[in-house]
Amino acid sequence: MRYKTIIGLEIHVELMTDTKIFCNCTNEFGGEANSHCCPVCLGLPGAIPRLNKRVLEYAIKAGTAFNTHISNHIKMDRKNYFYADLTKGFQTSQNEIPICSEGYIEIELEEGTKKVHLQRIHIEEDTGKSIHTENDETLLDYNRAGVPLIEIVSKPEMNSAEEARLFLENLRATLKYIEVSDCKMEEGSLRCDVNINVVDSETGQKTRISEIKNLNSFRSVVKSIEYEEERHIDLLKKGENTDKETRRWDEVKAETVLMRGKAGASDYRFAVEGDIPPFILEDTFINEIQNNMPELPHEKKERFISQYDLSSYDAGVLTQSRDLAAFFEDTVKNINDTKLVSNWIMGDVLRRLNEEDLEIDSLKFGAKALADLISLVKDGKINNNTGKKVLRDMFDTGKDPNTIVKEQGLIQISDEGELEGMIDTVLDENEQSIIDFKNGKDRAVGFLIGQIMKKSRGKANPQVVNKLLLEKLKER
Amino acid sequence: MISKEDVSQIAELCKLSFDDVENDGFIKEFEKVLNLVENIKEADTSDIEPTYQVNQYKDPFIGDEVEESLPQKEVLKNTVEEKYGYFKILKVVD
């Protein structure tokens, strides 16, 4: 590969605290415009911010999950810039001493595990939200002003869109596991900026870094990286270079668009935040958090492999979210057959959820109901196909599987006498198939089984039908 | 030394503009401040750890407990224009 892509990511994550970072206004998403505001988050003169302790707790949790060094010194800085969504004319952030530094996130590549290192994680406040209308006006809502954020900055160590995607997936899964953020990109609680440039390994020439903003899904992160990669390489090939600039991803046109050049760009004139004096965190506070970390995704995956005897792939799928893993474990508690349970969840359950773009917590039935359904199939009370049909009903109505089976009379027919009657009728109706069978056309058997299943309205036990049919065909 | 360009850049960041006479005035004022700060540089701090606080500041936190916010009407009280509960300003796009 002549051209090497270099990618660094900056991720803003809104923390799931109850209140904002410097005041006691609610941190609830949405709400009527400007109804979650007070003198502190509005930046009114004389208002004094005080730090929400849980913000530190969550930042330390995230820092621990990503193997960072945690700083005892807590110091806030003012990042000055003028924009209407910033009430005070500066954002209270951390510049000089981030609460977490260094650390790494591991991603699984075909050639093995790769460590992508982090530069830092720091805490800061979110800004208000502006809406630009068609009548040349901007409307401002400060409900989001002061919502606690952590900003996670990676080192420029990713070399493809795929690596960036894996990094983000690991990051999101981990943050959701440790319950510091819901990471909903569509609500803006996880936002990602990409820094990218390309090096020509033959000439050593580098393009200048582009920063891409406005990425609201992992898909657009991947697409924009692929687009920029090509743009940078094309310019290098022509002997030209990119400009150091900020670009925006245009979802409709599927291309990046220039937002602003970086020459003469913002000078944030960082200054100490005098309203929040620096202080030293007690070791006990940090240790307490670190000693009570919940199970992380890779730990849960290892446990699933050893405890439930699952393949690495299956364990990986089932532990992709904490809720899904819990659903699996709850189901297994009710029916002790890990292989069957993982097949049902990874097959029909996940397929349906993916089709409808839903998460496991939006299921209308619980783990106990799924276990009951699997038991019905396992005990031969309904056949596998009927089981799938019952599951579809459970998705739609949330009804209990035993109720569905009873209401629709779906109990499997295994009684040989009853089945023989059906088989005889079908054979009488399809003499050509009998001739085909005698002439060695095996397909005829499949056709006949289909007819018998139809006659039984799907309730016949396929194994018994198969056995009886072959006997009967030989007799004829 | 402070140049005319330095003053213009700082003014631009503050979204302010000044005429030449005002600019020259700022050059003198800025230099005065900077010269004062220069004096501090004479102290030898090579062996000294940075001081981040001089108070024994112990529990500067607030708890994560929601309290009532201001009513929307109060929030918007001092604004010149509002619309649908939002602050309304001339369109600004960054």
**DSSP conformation letters of A166-213:** HHHHHHHHHHHHTTS----GGGTSEEEEEEEEEEETTT--BPPPEEEE
- Please check the confidence at residue A201 and state whether its pLDDT lies above 70: yes
Higher per-residue pLDDT: A292 or A463? A292
Q: Say if CB A50 and CB A279 are below 8 A apart.
A: no
Per-chain mean pLDDT for chain A: 92
Residue A265, pLDDT > 60, answer: no
- Contact flag A35-B69 (C-beta cutoff 8 Å): yes
Q: Which domains does chain A have, with CATH numbers?
A: 3-285 (no CATH), 297-403 (no CATH), 416-475 (1.10.10.410)
Residue type, A325: A
| pTM (two decimals) | 0.79
Residue B9 clears pLDDT 90, i.e. is over it: no
pLDDT of residue A112 exceeding 80:
yes
CB contact under 8 A, B61 and A33: no
Tokens at B58, concatenated: 């112990």
What's the whole-number mean pLDDT along residues A372-397?
91
Most A-contacting residue of B87, B88, B90 (CB-CB within 10 A), to test interface:
B87
pLDDT recorded at residue B52: 67
Question: How far away is chain A from the Cα of B72, in angstroms, using its nearest Cα?
Answer: 5
B62/A53 CB distance under 8 A: yes
Task: Considering only the beta carbons, identify the residue of B61, B76, B88 that sits closest to A50.
Answer: B61
A196 pLDDT higher than 90: yes
Please report, for residues A70, A72, B32, B38, B42, the alpha-carbon distance to residue B35 in angstroms, rounded to integers and kept in the order given: 38, 35, 5, 5, 12
Interchain CB contacts (distance < 8 Å): A and B: 124
The answer, for A123 touching chain B at a CB cutoff of 8 Å, is: no
From chain A residues 450-469, the ones with a CB under 8 A of any chain B CB are none
Q: Is the pLDDT of residue A198 over 90?
A: yes
The residues facing B82 across adjacent strands are: B87
Work out the average pLDDT over A115-142. Answer: 95
pLDDT for the residue numbered A310? 95
Chain B residue with minimal CA distance to A32?
B85
CB of A244 within 8 A of CB of A208? yes
Predicted local distance difference test score (pLDDT) of residue B69: 97
Chain A residues within 8 A of B58 when measuring between CB atoms: 279
pLDDT at residue A355 greater than cutoff 70: yes
Check whether B92 has a pLDDT greater than 80: no
Choose the most confident range, by mean pLDDT, from A163-167, A234-238, A447-451, B58-62: A163-167
Question: Could you tell me which of A173, A185, A219, A202 has the C-alpha nearest to residue A316?
Answer: A173
> Does residue A263 surpass a pLDDT of 60?
no
Q: Residue A145 pLDDT > 90, yes or no?
A: yes
* A133 contacts B62? CB cut-off 8 A: no
pLDDT in the model for residue A54: 97
The CA distance from B26 to the nearest CA of chain A, in Å, is 18
Given a cut of 90, is residue A239 above it in pLDDT? no
Q: Do A138 and B61 touch (CB under 8 A)?
A: no
What is the rounded distance in angstroms from the CA atom of residue A53 to the CA atom of residue A56?
5
Per-residue pLDDT, averaged over A66-95, amounts to 93
The fraction of chain A above a pLDDT of 70, given in percent, is 99
Find the CB nearest A37 among B60, B75, B91: B75
Q: Considering just the CA atoms, what is the radius of gyration of chain B in Å?
A: 23
* Contact A408/B at CB under 8 A: no
% of chain B surpassing 70 pLDDT: 89
pLDDT at A36: 97
pLDDT exceeds 70 at position A405 = yes
As a whole-number percent, the residues of chain B with pLDDT over 90 amount to: 39
**What does the pLDDT read at residue A346?**
95
pLDDT at A92 over 70: yes
Q: Is the pLDDT of residue A289 over 80?
A: yes
CA distance B27 to chain A (A): 18
Cβ A136–B90 below 8 Å, yes or no? yes
pLDDT of residue A398: 92
Residue of B nearest to A15 (CA): B64
Q: Which of B58, B64, B69 is nearest residue A17 as measured by Cβ atoms?
A: B64
Interior angle at CA B86, CA B90 and CA B88, nearest 5: 15
> Taking a C-beta distance cutoff of 8 angstroms, is the pair A45, A199 a contact?
no
State the pLDDT at residue A11: 97
Residue A227 has pLDDT above 80, yes or no: yes
Query: Is A39's pLDDT higher than 80?
Result: yes
Whether the complex's predicted ipTM is more than 0.95 is answered with: no
Instruction: Decide if B93 and A266 are in contact by the 8 Å CB cutoff.
Output: no
Helical segments of A35-160, H only: 53-65
Work out the average pLDDT over A50-67: 97
Nearest neighbour of B75 by CB, restricted to A23, A42, A81: A42
Closest Cβ–Cβ partner in B14, B62, B71 for A24 = B62
**What confidence category does residue A81 fall into, taking pLDDT thresholds of 50, 70 and 90?**
confident
Residue A463 has pLDDT above 90, yes or no: no
Residue A242 has pLDDT above 90, yes or no: no
Q: Which DSSP state fits A296? A: P
Comparing B53 with A388, which gets the higher pLDDT?
A388
Residue A375 has pLDDT above 60, yes or no: yes
Alpha-carbon gap, residue A436 to A472, rounded angstroms: 15
